[in-house]
Amino acid sequence: MSKINLRFLKNFLTISVISGCLFMIEGCGEEDTAVPSAGEVVADVPASATPGATLTFLDRSENVATRAWTIQDGDPATSTNRSVSVVFESTGEKSVVLDVVFENGTTNSATYTIDIQDLVTASFTSVQTPLAVINDPDMPKNADIQYSVEFNPSVTGTPDSYAWTFPGGTPETSTDERPVVTWMDGDAGTVTVSLVVSRSSDSQSVTFEEEVTVGSQSILNPLWWNFESDTLMNYLTWQAPGAWDEGALTLVDDGFKGKAVKIIYPGGDVNNQWSLFTRDITEANGSLLPGSVVLFSYYVKAETNVAVDNGFRFWRIANHVPDFVDLEPKQDYKNIGFVGPQGATTEWQRFSHLDTIPDWYAGEALANAYPHINFADINGTGNTFYLDEVEIKVIQE
């Protein structure tokens, strides 16, 4: 390219810039693009960028005869153009040198540093370990499960700070890179964990949120056992003559969570026991593999305090596929974790126990496992009980 052409280009660009200012005086004054003084090298080079992005470097020096850009790791690595489009593929701090020869023969140069960094992104995975906790020494079978969950972030852009939020967990917040958080079974379930990662060098920050299921889902159908239906589901009783008294079972709103079932135990005959179970309602029940460890839990309160020895008589996980139940194979009646008696108070209390499922059916799963909770009073005193959130969770396969 001839010197004349370069001069023409230079003059044209200079005039364009000046013309722009003349016609938009206010706009020029507000921009951070002061007119360079004579002999000064001034260029627009961004301070930071991401790999693969197309960047524009602009030489704003005036009265330039020739120039040379030297761009470390850039594509292109050199240019003599006033405006140059550059892409960096690698990360790190890159130097950009602009050497200028002015029309009057003087030279000057400026060096810029551009920090090429990956975008900050974040996601995470988690691994949970259930740990049994016996939380009531007076009731040794009253167990809870603590889920210990380790969170492992996956990030790009080398962030240098982490801010986690764990609803219902301990701790509820953390700035550790790989926090370990625990939830008790009652606080477990689906929780929305959020992670904010930040990079101090350019104040980039990104938030990642994900629903994490802590703990196991109950094998029972919640329609029957969380009592959240609009109408009372069908339950079986062993109270003679085999049906609930009219009005003995109703749904109430003030459950432990949402609705609960209210059970009016009439008392009288001490053999008059009110058992709530779902043996013949297979869609309410679940399947359990031999050798698995299960946590059976539920919440009870009573209208009148009842002592331990007088209280509701037992609870258990039962399994039975009698001839008249439409499931195969037929399985004889078994029960697991026959516990009781136990008192109740006017406050909601959590009852639970852990059991290992025996191999009763030669390797076959328990095909029709259901809870069976028996309300009674040894003295035959009438009472009203409330039952909610009955769950059977597999803690270990």
Distance in Å, CB of 351 to Ca ion, minimum: 15
Distance in Å, CB of 255 to Ca ion, minimum: 4
Select 102 or 227, whichever has its Cβ closest to Ca ion. 227
Q: 173-174 and 161-165 as β-strands: parallel, antiparallel, unpaired?
A: antiparallel
CA distances from 349 to 221, 227, 299 (A): 22, 17, 5
Distance in Å, CB of 388 to Ca ion, minimum: 5
The closest of 234, 237, 263 to 248, measured between CA atoms, is 263
Select 151 or 235, whichever has its Cβ closest to Ca ion. 235
Select 262 or 313, whichever has its Cβ closest to Ca ion. 262
Q: Quote the tokens at residue 160.
A: 């240098």
Distance in Å, CB of 188 to Ca ion, minimum: 16
Contacts of the segment 156-159: beta carbons below 8 A, 24+ positions apart = 156/118, 156/119, 156/120, 156/121, 157/117, 157/118, 157/119, 157/120, 157/121, 157/199, 157/204, 158/117, 158/118, 158/199, 159/120, 159/122, 159/197, 159/198, 159/199, 159/204
Distance in Å, CB of 228 to Ca ion, minimum: 5
Select 27 or 258, whichever has its Cβ closest to Ca ion. 258
Select 227 or 265, whichever has its Cβ closest to Ca ion. 227
The answer to whether 266 and 244 have CB atoms below 8 angstroms apart is no
Select 199 or 259, whichever has its Cβ closest to Ca ion. 259
Distance in Å, CB of 348 to Ca ion, minimum: 11
Distance CA 216, CA 292 (A): 13
User: Which residues would be at the binding site for Ca ion (CB under 5 A)?
Assistant: 226-227, 255, 257-259, 388
